[in-house]
Amino acid sequence: MQRPEFELIDWIRGQVRDRGTVSLGIGDDAACLKPNPDRELLVATDMLMEGVHFEFSSATPQQAGRKALAVNLSDIAAMGGRATAAFVSVALPSDRGMQFARDVHTGLIELANDHDVILAGGDTNSWNGPLVINVAVLGEPWMPRPVSRKGAQPGDWLFVTGALGGSLVSGRHLNFPPRLAEAQRLVNLVEVHAMLDVSDGLAADLHHILKASRVGAILFEPDIPLTQSAKTVNDGRSPLMHGLSDGEDFELLFAVAPEAGRQLLSSWNMVTSLTRIGEISTELDCRLRRADGKMELLPPIGWTHRLGEAL
């Protein structure tokens, strides 16, 4: 009699596409990979819990698995890197059965295959609790050095990919495309001084860059790109407030020198939009410049419902 875990593991192994970088993968005590000797190694890890990061009233098992990988791919993108291998640990609710377990992994493996990421190992458990998924992703920077959060300089232009706000309402937090291709293009076109992915909300995440870089910033209110759902959610909060604080956007927020910014604006031809939304200042605070030119202080408001926070 085979234990259900082994059956699941055999099934996962059959789904995984190998690409030659893994000399020893699923089925031993540890995976063994060939590192790129010319690059440093990037490691991102995120734990997602049912009831906190997704609910099965609105998400499918596939979407839960997909999101667990996607948030890590977004982190690797934010470092200016590509993802190479993923390691997936799950605590599966024992009453939901094997098809549920396969569905969770299917959503994850499909996204992995889309981005040439190999599922190289993990840990499969079941319990009488909600679904918990932890994914650790290895990657490497496209350029010799990764893009950290520190490095923004006074005068730099601030950009964001895509549009912000309403991700939880629209369900976009479950199916957002990690901006790996956009990050690759960016770091190949210009020198990016600082970058992160917007997970806590634009205002909170901008403060992370400012704190790490020891600078301030001015955001141009009329230029902040808002999603359709940010504009139409009728909950008493303004579209701008949604764009500044909803979080889970998983768009790239970054700072580049003005000349690099001009170059980006003139040469950017990807479908994903790129918008200049502000600039880095010498004063150590963050301000919002309204359409009428008035300035106001912008605190690090963010999605406080979300308790998850990367180290």
Kindly state the smallest distance separating residue 228's Cβ from its own copies, in Å. 27
Closer residue to its own copies, CB minimum distance, 37 or 293: 37
Residue located via tokens 């970088």:
21
Kindly state the smallest distance separating residue 9's Cβ from its own copies, in Å. 5
For residue 276, the tally of other CB atoms under 10 A from its CB is 17
Closer residue to its own copies, CB minimum distance, 12 or 111: 12
Kindly state the smallest distance separating residue 57's Cβ from its own copies, in Å. 17
Closer residue to its own copies, CB minimum distance, 190 or 196: 196
* Of residues 191, 181, 303, 172, the one with CA closest to residue 250: 172
Supply the Cα-derived Rg of the chain in whole angstroms: 20
- Are 160 and 206 in contact, with CB atoms under 8 Å apart? no
Element (H, E) at 24: strand 22-24
Cβ-proximal residues to 228 (8 Å cutoff; 6+ apart), any chain: 166, 170
Backbone angles phi and psi of 194, in degrees to 5: -155, 145
CA–CA distance, 83 with 60 (Å, rounded to integer): 25
Read off the amino acid at residue 193. H
Kindly state the smallest distance separating residue 122's Cβ from its own copies, in Å. 4
Closer residue to its own copies, CB minimum distance, 61 or 239: 61
Angle at 112 between CA 107 and CA 115, to 5 degrees: 130
Closer residue to its own copies, CB minimum distance, 233 or 280: 280
Kindly state the smallest distance separating residue 105's Cβ from its own copies, in Å. 10
Closer residue to its own copies, CB minimum distance, 292 or 309: 309
Kindly state the smallest distance separating residue 2's Cβ from its own copies, in Å. 10
